[in-house]
Amino acid sequence: MNTLKNILPLLILLFLQACTFTKPDANTASETDICAATSNNCTFVVFSESSDKLLIINEARARQAFTPASTFKIANSLIALETSTITDAKQILAIDYELYPIEDWWQSSWSSERHDLRSAFQNSVLPIYRGIASQIGAPRMSEYLARFNYGNQDITSGIDYFWVNGSLKISALEQIRFLQNIYHNEYSLQEESLQTLKEIMLADDTGAYKLYAKTGAALIDEGTVIAWYVGFIENQDGVHYFAFNLQAPPSPETALARTQLPLNYLTQAGII
């Protein structure tokens, strides 16, 4: 299974050739649907496994690598569980305020609430995850990113910050492949680690479907953020993996769009 690293370019090519491509119906797209705009500031990808159907909006951007921002917490959590840096979803995690003193831009919940792994993941508590990455250490982090073939695998900008507008980059299509390989345990990980990951990723359970997801956002220059929403859905038709990213000015509207747009697309596709 680890031979995937050596043949990944071929696998991606075969994967894209074998899948059925569809494009969103122009009649169902909203006039405010910025993903359909020609500016190429947004991409959405969803792969429905049982039907082998791959939908891509803005394919060129789907292949372009960006900072993963907080979507890297999926990989970071999994590596922490695999290395026993963290034992389970209920482990209480503390911020090291000597290393990471409170800053004005922090979300109030980061320092005012008590966090276990699930709440740290759901609230995207960056200082906790910076500490987790430091505990994992550069050698083990590099080993697992190579094993996962995660993006460009570059952590040289700093062990506790490389995923936030740092050296690590990943594309939407690579996010899809990573999520699918996790789901099918192509990396030969411990089953307990995978179940804990699903536990902390669970964002919605309606009875008709389960949504497992992670948001991410990072300021890439003074007036622009890259915003992500990635994950997978389980429903009666099987598993559907999705990845969305958006480049836009930082604003409450951008924060809303990073989840609302992909959910709209998933609704249009009949997945949720």
Instruction: Please identify every residue annotated as catalytic.
Output: 70
Q: What is the 3-state secondary structure (H, E, C) of the chain?
A: CCCHHHHHHHHHHHHHHHCEEECCCCCCCCCCCHHHCCCCCEEEEEEECCCCEEEEECHHHHCCEECCHHHHHHHHHHHHHHCCCCCCCCCEECCCCCCCCCCCCCCHHHHHCCEEHHHHHHCCCHHHHHHHHHHHCHHHHHHHHHHHCCCCCCCCCCCCCCCCCCCCCEEHHHHHHHHHHHHCCCCCCCHHHHHHHHHHHEEEECCCEEEEEEEEEEEEECCEEEEEEEEEEEECCEEEEEEEEEEECCCHHHHHHHHHHHHHHHHHCCCC
At 90, list the tokens: 């209920």
Among candidate residues 135, 133, 132, 166, the one with its CA nearest the CA of residue 152: 166
